[in-house]
Amino acid sequence: MNNKRLIKIAKIFSTIFMPLYAPLWVFFGLFLFSYMRMLPWGYKLFIMGLVYVFAVFIPTLGITTFRLFKKWTHLELSHREHRHMPYLVTLLSYGACLVIMTKMNTAMFFRGVVMSALICQIICVVINAWWKVSTHMVGMGGLVGALNAFSILFFYNPVWPFCALLLLSGALGTSRIILRQHSLAQVLVGFGIGYLSTMTFILMSWM
């Protein structure tokens, strides 16, 4: 496999597993594979729509507008010193989503998913002050952490989806290194932040 094809595959993986989509994937899994699939379709679509607007659409719109205003390329935006505003936009949007869910009195573990994503972002902001961490791997680690947490809460064996997510995590981490966006340490630390934060806060939300 030549370098151009390898880079193209790495870009595809990076695009499919954008970190902003991680909370949406968690809710998709809950509504499709857990007992919550019995909830009315209207309610499930409303929650998915709410999460999409605040976790994906608003941050993407804000970040894109900021990038165009600064006349930065995607590569320039990925520099550590240029990440402060994208992080701020995402934090405010996730915070608004959490407030709305609280006002609606949605299930606590629903809010736990958004809270864990918000905590992950806060940790990334703090670390970004001196080091660049892989937010792609934070998102992927969050998916694995959510799977682990819900397997504990719902008493089921997640070995096959767990293995699949680990393989995808390895492929995504390798892609970020191939694209020279992160080092191995940044990839591993990002995955650890997402995994530990998400699992911890989802389990805490159940108590």
Residues 6+ apart with CB under 8 A from 149: 198, 199, 202, 203
8-state DSSP, 82:
G
What number of CA atoms fall less than 13 Å from residue 108's CA on the CB side? 7
Residues of the chain with pLDDT under 50: 1
Q: Is 185 helix (H, G, I), strand (E, B) or coil?
A: helix
Q: Is 182 helix (H, G, I), strand (E, B) or coil?
A: coil
The answer to whether 94 and 118 have CB atoms below 8 angstroms apart is: yes
8-state DSSP, 180:
T
| Lookup: tokens for 155 | 């008493």
29 is in which domain, residue-wise? 3-206
19-47 tens-digit pLDDT: 899 999 999 988 988 888 899 999 999 99
For the chain, the C-alpha Rg in angstroms (whole number) is 17
pLDDT value at position 74?
Answer: 67
pLDDT value at position 83?
Answer: 74
How many domains is the chain built from? 1
